[in-house]
Amino acid sequence: MRTLGIKTSASLIITVILLLIAALASNTKVDISKILYTYRSHIIFLVFYSIFAVTIFIARKDIVNMLIKLLKNFFILPEGEEKSGLNIKSFILFITLMLVLISLLNPYMQRNLVERINPQKQYLGNISQVQEENVENSLNSPNNPTPLPSHSQDHYMLLIMSIWTLVSTLVIMVSVILVVKGVVDYLRSSELLEEEQESVLKKSLKKELSRQLDKTISRLELENIEDVRKAIVELYMCMCELFAKHGVKMEKNMTAREFMAKLRGIFRNIPENALEDLTYIFEKAVYSNYPITLEDRDAALRALKTIREYLGEFNEGT
């Protein structure tokens, strides 16, 4: 980004300098102060727009945040729908339409500039058709000791208009490119940061959940049938605490089936049969007074071992 800005600025400065040198290379004397006065409004606008473009580049992150908040209702999919690159594509399309609008307004800008130079003559639609007498009204003056020849004035006016059109177009293009690039980079970095944070939290949750499953499996293999319900209830409570600890939103009075839906949402490839068996045993142990049988314990062990195998191997020291 910085290299692009430096190269673009350098190219712009060199182009303007070369055009000014070409304009001043003539033997004809030119009243620079009068020309600056004639084009004062355009120069002020160009300076203002340059400052505006630099401000956009410096504060691009804050501007991106503001644009996202303002445009999310139009370009970001509603919650619950699958996300895609629609927001970025739509924003780029919006900027492209703005550039097309600027291009369509460019002839009007040229016409306005010609009328400012010579309000006495109607615009002919082609800058090269501006006659010598049109330029004399703006550049020649009784106070000017060395009036410009009409052909030199016309040539100089065309150069000034070329400089203005080139500089203004480049400034607009560069500022728009910087904004679009800033938006894309910010969205990509935000997505990467969210994915990285999600990966770290998921790995930590998987690690702690695996340890808790190991403890429960050991208890169910060793303890008497009377302690199976207690072990299953404690496992359920510990899993809820682990999820809340890792930032998973846990609603009040959440059922075991709703909790398992959260688990399925985090670990998408978790074995469905084992998850269904464990959900049934959780519901039976937590919400009913039905006795937990040996078949229930064996089913719980099979489900826990299957899920533990899916979570993978984690050593205590890692």
In angstroms, the CA 71 to CA 202 distance is 31
pLDDT tens over the chain, length 318 residues = 455 556 556 666 666 666 566 556 555 555 666 666 666 666 676 666 667 666 666 766 766 666 666 555 554 444 444 444 445 555 565 666 666 656 555 555 555 555 555 554 444 444 444 444 444 454 454 554 544 444 455 555 666 666 666 666 666 776 677 667 666 666 666 665 555 555 666 777 788 888 888 888 888 887 565 678 888 888 888 888 888 887 777 777 778 888 888 888 777 788 888 888 888 888 888 888 888 888 888 888 898 899 888 887 544 433
Count of beta carbons in the 10 Å neighbourhood of residue 48 = 10
Residue for token pair 């071992």: 305
Q: Is the pTM of this model over 0.85?
A: no
pLDDT number for residue 122: 46
In angstroms, the CA 198 to CA 200 distance is 5
Instruction: Find the helix packing angle between 256-266 and 272-287, rounded to 10°.
Output: 150
In angstroms, the CA 293 to CA 225 distance is 7
Count of beta carbons in the 10 Å neighbourhood of residue 309 = 13
In angstroms, the CA 76 to CA 104 distance is 29
59 Cβ contact list (under 8 Å, min separation 6): none
Dihedral pair phi/psi, residue 29, rounded to 5°: -80, 140
User: Could you report the per-residue pLDDT of 98-142, keeping only the tens digit for each?
Assistant: 666 565 555 555 555 555 555 544 444 444 444 444 444 544 545
Average pLDDT, the chain: 67
Locate 91 and state its tokens.
Answer: 């924003």
pLDDT number for residue 154: 54
In angstroms, the CA 135 to CA 48 distance is 27
In angstroms, the CA 246 to CA 258 distance is 17
In angstroms, the CA 93 to CA 194 distance is 26
317: helix, strand or coil: coil
pLDDT number for residue 265: 79
Dihedral pair phi/psi, residue 176, rounded to 5°: -65, -45
* One-letter amino acid of 105: L
Residue for token pair 């004809």: 28
pLDDT number for residue 270: 83
Residue for token pair 């959440």: 254
Q: How far is CA 87 from CA 68, 179, 199, 250, in A?
A: 9, 14, 24, 30
User: Could you report the per-residue pLDDT of 140-174, keeping only the tens digit for each?
Assistant: 545 545 444 444 555 556 666 666 666 666 667 76
pLDDT number for residue 282: 85
pLDDT number for residue 129: 46
Dihedral pair phi/psi, residue 278, rounded to 5°: -65, -35
Instruction: Give the sign of the dihedral formed by CA 21, CA 25, CA 26, CA 29.
Output: positive
